[in-house]
A and B are shown apart, each in its own frame.
Chain A
Amino acid sequence: MARVAILNYIKRSSPVHELTGTTKLIFFIAWSVTSMVTFDTRVLLCMLVIGAVIFRISRIRISDISVVLGLAAVFLLLNNLFIYLFTPEYGVELYESRTLLFSIVGRYTVTAQQLFYHLNITLKVICVVPIALLFIACTDPSEFAASLSRIGVSYRTGYAVSLALRYTPDVQREYRNISQAQQARGIDLSGKDKLFTRLKNSVAILLPLIMSSLNRIETVSNAMELRGFGKEKKRTWYAQRGMKRSDWLTIAFAAAILTVGLTVTFWDGSRYYNPFLQ
């Protein structure tokens, strides 16, 4: 079978893999909240170091997730570019001082404050993305639904995630088969045709794909109901693992990051760390 997945669970043995899905989910949420809220460069730099250490421990290699990392880098670049294009002096406003380095043209000036703002944005993304990828790469999908349910998400929602994981590869395979067969009927999806023709052509693949997916959904929902899904308010999980000492320690650590991170950030009453203040 052709490997189509760019990002999926990578089975290795590491302390990160050992943790239960619930722990990793809690850690991931605490981590994202902290890095999203804070604009404190000191906190972000600390998190960057911690993140790098965790990445090492997980034994996931950069090459395993290089494609997604590349995409994230492109996105980050575009993000920075647009922030600058629309608000070239946002940093000045934010840090309430202006150190002009040089100016390009018209309103497009380069100030130390703006550059510092961009540095913070970039740091935030660099903090979150690797941990998010790590969360996906180190969490056994089987456990995923169980962990969502343990932190209070309804098991129906949790199971929907699980089903998506289960059937996505099937649908991808189906897409590939259908698109090949349609290409053989003169449907060209390569860049040669005009955009409008390509859009029209993609319908030739999507329609059969939707039809066959609808059939699949009927089978899946029948199969689930025939085996009692949705009967009780709760359900148990075959793949759930018990919490160990390391799990509790990790959760405590996550709580510490959240509290310390946010306390340091808001110590002076603002989420921005401002080195330009005299």
Chain B
Amino acid sequence: MAEPVISFKDYGFQYTAQASPTLYHINLDIYQGEKVLIAGASGSGKSTIGSCLNGLIPYAYAGESTGELLVGGKDPRKESIFTLSQIVGTVLQDTDGQFIGLTVGEDIAFALENDCVPQEEMKETVQEVAKLVDIDHHLEYAPHELSGGQKQRVSLAGVMVDQVKILLFDEPLANLDPAAGRTAIELIDKVQERTGAAVIIIEHRLEDVLWKRVDRIVLMDEGRIVADMPTKDFLTSDMLLGHGLREPLYLSALRYAGIPITKELEPQHVESLRLSEEQKERVRGWYRDQEGLFGTEETKREILSVENLSFGYTPEKQNLKDVSFSIKEGEMVSIVGRNGAGKSTLAKLICGFEKPTAGRICLEGRDLSGDTIKERAQRIGYVMQNPNQMISKPLIWDEVEMALLAGTMSAEERQNRVEETLKICGLYPFRKWPVSALSFGQKKRVTIAGILVQRPQIIILDEPTAGQDYHHYTEIMEFLKSLNERGFTIIMITHDMHLMLEYTPRAIVFSEGELLADTTAAHVLNDPALVEKANLKETSLYTLSVACGIDNPQAFTERFIASEKVRRERQEG
């Protein structure tokens, strides 16, 4: 076999600032033209592997390394980051931050400019590469005129101008809506076919990456490689469960139906599944058995109603057009739709950050238009996506107490309220801790506690689980569910189809500022027209149920979710 383009031999690495190594005894060879997925939970070391390849280690992040590493025949520890950048092209996770140029053309040309390529030649190359990633009609666009998916294309084009041998994608799906994520995976596939580069994708969303062929899956856990096998072998092994990964939904469904996952099934994609008639009947049988698990919702009283709401930041463009819906007390609702569909704008209007141009918002039947931001905040809390956007005090206690200090509460009342809130959020043992000592998920809790302390009736969360692996996702969502069970009404703005299916019975779908649908989450994802219009993605459960000849894919999805819930509760209890 040919020489590998990447070769780790008993490689270990420890960041200078950390007490123990992040990587232990890594042995890994990757060859030209291969497509490898490096999966694992956050903190498993998968991103560190990426930084070792592109030279950020040791150039930007200092540390001690042991063992051997060759990238394109060179040792990154001895070469400059610039030499490495000619071999490895890296597309980072943050689609916005890595967009350096003021326009698309400039950003793609960035590496060429640094190489002193003459302008004529540069323009030609940019045109060529832009065409390959299908962004050549937007060369004059500024970053804020592009969607997340388009920005990612620009970044990809920007590293491809160097004709790199290795393309490295660090969590390419984290900032994209479902449909854009799917397109990204297709694009990566196409680019690899054209260039023959080795592709390495670092991601924990297994099912989404597997939308296109992946040769090999490398699973990381606590700094070690715990599995390194062809995709088919990996999916049929028991490595899939645990390790912070989520099993693809169609495989879970098959497992629940008592069908062992074997190589003969071709389990890599839901489309390629080869199920015998007998196995299909098993799936149908399981589907029938689950009937009745899915309970009906009792009707409750209306708490928030939005009537004919319209809004635009500029008079020319309407960000929301004549939107009406209502939320019942104690509901947990998802608001979904592509970036720029008007979801965040809606949240801002409800919280009073912006004033509607028409229509009104009522809380328990009372028009809110006269209330200030502060007054509304007593009833409706808003939690931003990133906890770092909210935390402004060094100590947990102070951070949670902050919202109360502006009010008229006595010191004793305040103390009781903060204590109670910390207990609800499971933060009481940490009350004296500095915020910086907490993990991301715990910080998220702190920000939620900072809102809860005002005892709002409704909490609106913007992308509560963005960028979280399965473990943290579950932790945050179970926490929100427990709040919901205590009676808080929860509204979530999300891209995450799993979240919407699993935790929110109801979903409100937006597209281009209009309310497209207000129905059950399972219905949304089983309606191909709706899925297409809102830039969502149908689940593999839909595809599987159709393949098995089940006439009601929506019911299949609902029963699957209900049965997962039962399993989860059984595990816990």
Contact = CB atoms under 8 A, between A and B. Distances in A.
Given A234-B116, A238-B122, A226 B90 contact: yes
B38 to A, nearest CB: 18
B374 A231 contact: no
A182 interface: yes
A177 interface: yes
A37 interface: no
The secondary structure that dominates the A interface is helix
A208 to B, nearest CB: 5
Contacts of A219: 92, 94, 97-98
A219 B99 CA distance: 10
B239 interface: no
Given A170-B96, A221-B60, A238-B123, A231 B114 contact: yes
A151 interface: no
B377 interface: yes
B520 to A, nearest CB: 30
Contacts of B503: none
Interface string B102-138: 1101100111111111110011001000000000000
A22 B99 CA distance: 25
A71 interface: no
Interface stretch (B178-186, B302-310, B386-394): B386-394
Given A185-B451, A216-B97, A203 B119 contact: no
Question: Size class of B's contact patch?
Answer: 35 or more
A2 interface: yes
Nearest to A225: B81
B113 A187 contact: no
A207 interface: yes
A226 B97 contact: no
Contact of A238 (B80, B126, B374, B402): B126
A227 B351 contact: no
A203 B389 contact: no
Contact of A237 (B55, B119, B373, B376): B119
Nearest to B114: A228
A183 B351 CA distance: 10
A188 B92 CA distance: 37
B122 A231 contact: no
A142 B139 CA distance: 13
A182 B113 contact: no
Interface string A102-117: 0000000000000000
A42 interface: no
Nearest to B340: A1
A204 B115 CA distance: 43
A150 interface: no
Interface residues of A, number: 53
A207 B436 CA distance: 13
Nearest to A228: B114
A186 B123 contact: no
B168 to A, nearest CB: 9
B384 A228 contact: no
Contacts of B60: 221-222, 225
Contacts of A203: 392
B85 A227 contact: yes
A186 B144 contact: no
A61 interface: no
Contacts of B348: 180
Interface stretch (B19-27, B217-225, B403-411): B403-411
Interface in A181-232: 181-188, 203-205, 207-208, 211-212, 215-216, 219-232
A61 B368 CA distance: 40
A166 B102 contact: yes
B182 to A, nearest CB: 25
Contacts of B126: 238
A245 interface: no
A208 B102 contact: no
Most chain B beta-carbon contacts within 10 A, residue among A180, A223, A227: A227
B384 A177 contact: yes
A166 B100 contact: yes
A225 B391 contact: no
A232 B392 contact: no
A165 interface: yes
B353 interface: yes
B457 to A, nearest CB: 14
A238 B82 contact: no
A236 B116 contact: yes
A1 B313 contact: yes
17 contacts: A166-B101, A177-B384, A180-B353, A185-B402, A185-B403, A186-B377, A186-B402, A188-B374, A208-B389, A211-B391, A212-B388, A216-B97, A219-B94, A219-B98, A227-B114, A238-B101, A238-B119
Rank and list the top 9 A-B pairs by shortest CB-CB distance, nearest first: A186-B406, A219-B97, A238-B109, A223-B98, A184-B377, A228-B114, A185-B403, A180-B353, A204-B392
Given A3-B314, A142-B103, 5 more contacts: A174-B389, A180-B351, A185-B402, A228-B111, A239-B102
